[in-house]
Amino acid sequence: METQENFAVSVWRVAAARLQERHANIYRDWFAQMVPVRLEKDGTELILGVSCDFYGEWVESNYRDLLDDALADINGQSYAWAFEKGYEPVAEIAEAVPAVPQAPSVPQLPIAPQVQYRETFENFVVGDANRFAVMTTQATVAKPGLYNPLFLYGDSGVGKTHLLCAAAVAAQQHNRALRTRYMSCSELLDRFYELISRHTSLSEFRASLRDVDMLLVDDVHVLARKPQIQEEFFNLFNYFYNQQKQIILTSDKQPCEIEGLEPRLVTRFESGVTAEVCVPEVEGRLMILRKMRDETLLPARLADPILEFIAEQISSSVRRLKGAFMRLASLATACGDVTMEQAEQLLAPQIDDELATRVVSMEVILQRVAEQFGISMADLMGNRRPRNIAEPRMVAMYLCRRHTRHSLPEIGNAFGKTHATVLNAMNKVPELCRKDDALRTRMRQIEKTLGRKGGC
């Protein structure tokens, strides 16, 4: 009599052949090295061995339907499936399906001996809003290890990536022998997934970066809610830190605000210097526009009043500012001098969008919250803690953080609280909204009166 293990092998042979025929590349990368372990639940569920939990979670999240289809109607039986970690592929099972081409070895993460980026410190416009971040980054490059790690954060489009690239360029100008590695966190994840898909030892992942002297990682908030890569990044961070190698990171939020980031990573990210990169004030935005005008050789066709108009109207991000300029520059190149009327007409959609997302003041938010919940401003800002006051107070803190540029400590100070209280509100209000339809409706109404979209 055939054992459950042998039945499992027989079932998997059929399913694996189907997968290879229908999805050859996916089969090669994700299914070829799974191991049929046994059948359970009276022979209706196939247990497949995989190398680790992460591997199984990835397949389940991305290729569930393919596996369901492959295990459907095998000799009149459709099989459920589950993963069990701790297995390596078995040669005789792999031979049961047609051979797939051997995948090339995964390349090591390159170390850049000479990085070449257009973004440098020289062409980064410095203003009061970003001066501290720029000076700190320059000091870090001049003396690696002085601020370690350096954590730069700010909204999308304010220049964090520019600063990171500038740091890479300047570091190699200071020391040609310095081995510098700049990468986005998404690139890091792609490399990690690729190694996992090929059952390559994670020691190769670690070794591919450990010869680097300065590691610069853009958008580390991408690590959120990815426990296994967080584990690897934690180990990598500790190695760099203990070896006194410089780490520079960027994120759209400061560490304590990244939901789904493990506390041990939060504390390590905060252990050096944290600097916010802000949108330049109007004078700084005007400097950026003038610099772009000079570079595009359009000084006569885009007069100062036009640039001043753009600088005043587009304030949400440097990226949007540059986009507005390029629209007018294209018009100037095609048609000649741009008039104010033409600029207003061409940029009307962007300006409308700016008005819809423009930051409001904390005072206005507090007034709207007090009106919506029928309490006084004194109650909202006081220390009383009955639910009819404590809940609106959390909502006010949440909205202040969401719709102003004030930091957690600044909002906490306004309420006579610590930044931890504001952070608690940021985590708790969405949870309360999910459970309470009335609160969710109130939140939407407040944001509507503020001219904002969103809600919990």
The string of DSSP codes covering 315-329 is -S-HHHHHHHHHHHH
CB 112 within 8 A of CB 181: yes
* CA–CA distances in Å: residue 306 to residues 286, 293, 310, 387: 10, 11, 6, 52
* Alpha-carbon span 307 to 300, nearest angstrom: 12
* Side chain identity at residue 281, one-letter code: E
The pair of three-digit structure tokens given for residue 330, joined into one six-digit string:
């294209």
Tell me the mean pLDDT per 10 residues along the chain, length 456.
69 90 78 87 88 71 84 89 77 42 36 56 84 91 91 89 92 87 87 74 72 92 90 90 94 90 94 89 88 77 90 86 88 84 89 74 88 88 83 92 83 89 88 86 82 59
CB 246 within 8 A of CB 214: yes
Question: What's the pLDDT score for residue 357?
Answer: 66
CB 16 within 8 A of CB 96: yes
The CATH 1.10.1750.10 domain(s) of the chain lie at 362-449
DSSP string across 179-241: -EEEEEHHHHHHHHHHHHHTT--HHHHHHHHHT-SEEEEE-GGGGTT-HHHHHHHHHHHHHHH
* Alpha-carbon span 397 to 377, nearest angstrom: 13
- Distance between terminal CA atoms of the chain? 59
CB 231 within 8 A of CB 264: no
- DSSP, collapsed to helix, strand or coil, labels residue 310 as helix
Question: What's the pLDDT score for residue 75?
Answer: 82
| Distance, CA of 137 to chain centre | 21
Cis peptide bond upstream of 149, omega within 30: yes
Determine the CATH number of domain 282-357: 1.10.8.60
Query: What sign for the dihedral angle of Cα 279, 282, 284, 286?
Result: positive
- DSSP, collapsed to helix, strand or coil, labels residue 157 as coil
Please count the helices (runs of H) and the strands (runs of E) in the chain.
21, 8
The pair of three-digit structure tokens given for residue 383, joined into one six-digit string:
């220390």
The CATH 1.10.8.60 domain(s) of the chain lie at 282-357
Question: What's the pLDDT score for residue 199?
Answer: 67
Nearest 5°: the CA angle 154, 248, 323 is 40
pTM across the whole model: 0.59
| Distance, CA of 309 to chain centre | 32
The pair of three-digit structure tokens given for residue 323, joined into one six-digit string:
């986009």
Length of the chain: 456
CB 343 within 8 A of CB 306: yes
The pair of three-digit structure tokens given for residue 318, joined into one six-digit string:
């440097």
Question: What's the pLDDT score for residue 241?
Answer: 92
DSSP string across 84-105: EES----HHHHTTS---PPPPP
| 4-94 is classed CATH 3.40.50.1100 | no
* Side chain identity at residue 433, one-letter code: C
CATH superfamily of 362-449: DnaA protein, C-terminal DNA-binding domain (1.10.1750.10)
Max Cα-Cα span within the chain? 90
Determine the CATH number of domain 131-276: 3.40.50.300
The CATH 3.40.50.300 domain(s) of the chain lie at 131-276
CB 185 within 8 A of CB 152: no
Phi first, then psi: give them for residue 127, nearest 5 degrees.
-140, 180
Helices 304-313 and 282-295: crossing angle in degrees, nearest 10, is 130
Q: Is residue 76 packed enough to be buried (19+ CB in 10 Å), middle (13-18) or exposed (0-12)?
A: exposed
Question: What's the pLDDT score for residue 93?
Answer: 44
User: Beta partners for 251?
Assistant: 153
* CA–CA distances in Å: residue 145 to residues 62, 87, 137, 174, 248: 40, 41, 11, 14, 10
The structure tokens 């570079």 sit at 295
